[in-house]
Structure 1
Amino acid sequence: MVLYKGPRLLDFAKTPQYLQFNKYVLTGYRPVSTAKDCLRSLFYMHNELGNIYTHGIPFFLFLVLLPLSIPWMEVDSAWICVVHYVACLCPTVGSVVYHVFMNHVGGEHVYDTLLSLDMFGVCLVNTLGALPIIHITLLCYPATRQTALLVYIVLSAYSIYCATTARTNVLRLQAFIWQALFRFGLFLFRVLGSGVGSPNSLRLFVIMDTLAVVGGLINIIQIPERFIPGLFDNWGNSHQIMHVMVICSIIYLHWGTLEDLAWIRTYQCPTEG
């Protein structure tokens, strides 16, 4: 993609140290740039272009298409639809801003701020995306549902703090462990027959979490570029693969939530005998 003649790109060794987070990506680094030049980098080839567009294009598709599939008028609790819609958009927004402006002249301070924003978006899709799951799973247990929502919000606040202050990909992935374990408990509650929800949604939610975890591991291991350094500088590297798997994870979250929203319209909690 070359619509604008870009600046001379840098090799790994010549890029600022805070941008040297993948030693297997050898070329294609943008020089330190103003905000205007960062935006211009949307129109010429470099090693962050794939990261920008693998989340930028889905953002606009989600923005337009998701509202068309959400049954806004058919759900009593409208907040579920709003929260779900925002959750699906959050990780793509933070990611695009981070990847576009990561080489800003503000240096490492601006980079760290943008990285925290990116991680905050990931935390929000975990947090907001799970709220409808909690609400529907514990639909017939109002007191338990309120407690679970409160506990999950506290765990999420802790995860947000850990993820936005972590300095390695391993620590960032670990920040989501408590949220993942909590969701696993909800899924187990459904399997045991105590919780409720669509019979078809649980499989979709499990796939959602599996895709997210596998994508995170691929990003940490840095495959395939670690096997052939330099070959995947612009396209096909681990971070782009993770981006695609995150988008697929969001799609499965959306499908699972739609299943639950369709199910909840007709379900009535059993009355106590």
Structure 2
Amino acid sequence: MGLYKGPRLLDFAKTPLHLQFNRYVLTGYRPVSSAHECLGSLFYVHNELGNIYTHGIPFFLFLVLMPFSIPWTEVDNIWICLVHYLACLCPTVGSVVYHVFMNHVGGEHVYDTLLSLDMFGVCLVNTLGALPIIYITLLCYPIIQQAALLTYILLSAYGIYCATTARTNVLRLQAFIWQGLFRFSLFLFRVYGSGVGSPHSLRLFVIMDSLAVLGGLVNVIQIPERFSPGLFDNWGNSHQIMHVMVVCSIIYLHWGTLEDLAWIKTFQCPNEG
């Protein structure tokens, strides 16, 4: 990463107050920078570089490779494919923009806007990613299906408001509770035979949500840097671990949705037989 001569990096105490959100990361902070200088930080080592690339690289891989695995022409409702594709992209692109420009010269106002964009991307993967699951699980109950889709969208709007206005990581994590409980009820619906879907997708969706929750908890607790402040300033800190878990969660969402899309091609509800 020596392609760009970076500025003198700051210690925790010398960085702006709105960037002092992890007291266990002691060094490697970029100074207040212009947009051009923020982009230049892609090419030297600092404590946000790992956060940028752990979501930046997956974003471009998802953007280019994922469409080839989605059966666009083999499903009756192409919107399922489209919202799924967008869901997989949203959290990574918002995160990259946030981490690249968070030290912008615009200060706390720009930072808050970028953080809201980041959280909006997380909200969208929760919202758009679940719509195909709801649609397929309740496929044989059209009226309930439509009501569930509308209810989940309303819950998501509430979650977006809470997540984008929350001031702490704990409150941001809480903003997704109702969406998580809704998806869990769908999983139970499948387990007890009322809902439908691929027999292989449920396990993938449970792993998806488990990884997302675990990543959020790691970020809130701030481990491992809590136990050894300064050691994980640039690499291996809690936020980077969360990023990797989020990417893995998206992959499991993709695998589970592909299972359902393959399954739905041959399924017919009993009352339609």
Compute the TM-score of the two structures, normalised by the length of structure 1: 0.99
Instruction: Tell me the alpha carbon deviations over residues 79-104 of structure 1, each in whole angstroms, 9 at most, x when there is no partner.
Output: 00000000000000100000000000
1:246 alignment partner in structure 2 = 246
Tell me which residue corresponds to 1:209.
Answer: 209
Instruction: Give the corresponding residue for 2:148.
Output: 148
Superimposed CA distance per residue, residues 107-134 of structure 1 (whole angstroms, 9 cap, x where no aligned partner): 0000000000000000000000000000
1:224 maps to what in 2?
A: 224
The residue aligned with 2:23 is 23
**Structure 2: which amino acid aligns with 1:78?**
I
Q: Where do residues 27-66 of structure 1 align in structure 2 (5 Å cutoff)? A: 27-66=27-66
Match of 2:101 in 1: 101
Q: Distance in 2 between matches of 1:2 and 1:218?
A: 31
Q: Alignment length, in residue pairs?
A: 273
Alignment RMSD: 0.8
Q: What secondary structure, in the 3-state scheme, does the structure 1 residue paired with 2:27 have? A: coil
What is aligned with 2:78? 78
SS of 2:227's equivalent?
Answer: coil
Matched, 1:174 2:174: yes
Name the CA distance, whole Å, in 2 between partners of 1:111 and 1:146. Answer: 38
**Residue in 2 aligned with 1:87?**
87
Q: Take 2:123 and 2:147, find their aligned partners in 1: how far apart are those partners?
A: 20
SS at match of 1:226: helix
In structure 2, the residue matched to 1:130 is 130
Is the partner of 2:32 in helix, strand or coil? Answer: coil
Provide the secondary structure at the position in 2 that maps to 1:54: helix
Any gaps of 5 or more consecutive residues in structure 2?
none
Show structure 1 runs of 4+ deviating over 4 A. Answer: none
CA deviation after TM superposition for structure 1 residue 232, in Å: 0.4
| 1:119 matched residue in structure 2 | 119
